[in-house]
A = this chain, B = another copy of it.
Amino acid sequence: MKMRRHTRQRQVILEELRKAPNHPTAAELFGLVKVQVPRISLGTVYRNLEQLCEDGTIRKVPGTGNETRYDGDLTEHWHLRCRECGHIHDVHGPVSVETAGKTGLRLGWVALEQRLELIGLCPDCQTSGVAAKSEIKQEPYS
């Protein structure tokens, strides 16, 4: 079992991600964090984001383009994503396909495609016990 330490780098990365209104990329976050931790490197940002995802503290939002974006908000919400500029707008509240379209319209969006996914563990990966292996001991961040 792996022990996770608290570091200033990870702390600031998480704070900046939670403050950011727009699902930043690793590179964007790197810029924000560098203000407070000037000697941080991009590799460290990637490593910490990966860890925070593993711990369930944050989430990846697959980008429309080819960069991953990160979401520090774990409350119930869904996304309106612009096909052209990549902008992602959060809509808080219950997740429902039935009302999502209407909400989008009300906010002035033209919605072209609905995407619903459940992310989980397929039967095979449950059997091979991948989930158990990833056990990590840590004190939670604020």
- Known A-B contacts A66-B66, A68-B66, A97-B95; A119 and B125 likewise in contact (beta carbons under 8 Å): no
Closest chain B CB from A78 CB (angstroms): 4
Contact status of A117 and B80, CB under 8 A, knowing A66-B68, A97-B95, A98-B96: yes
Oligomeric state, in copies: 2
A1 at interface (Cβ–Cβ under 8 A)?
A: no
Is A18 engaged at the interface, CB distance under 8 Å to the other chain? no
User: Quick one: which of B78, B82, B131 contacts A120, CB cutoff 8 A?
Assistant: B82
Q: Which residues of B contact A95 (CB under 8 A)?
A: 97, 114, 116
Q: Is the CB–CB distance between B115 and A110 below 8 Å?
A: no
Q: Fill in one digit per residue for A74-99: 1 if any B CB lies within 8 Å of its CB, else 0.
A: 00001111111101010000011110
- Beta-carbon contact of A111 and B115 below 8 Å: no
- Chain B residues lying within 8 Å of A112, measured Cβ to Cβ, are 119-121
A122 contacts chain B at the CB level, 8 A cutoff: yes
Q: State whether the Cβ of A139 lies closer than 8 Å to any Cβ in chain B.
A: no
Complex contact B62–A119 (CB within 8 A)? no
Bitwise interface map of A from 55 to 83 toward B, beta carbon under 8 Å scored 1, else 0: 00001101110101000000000111111
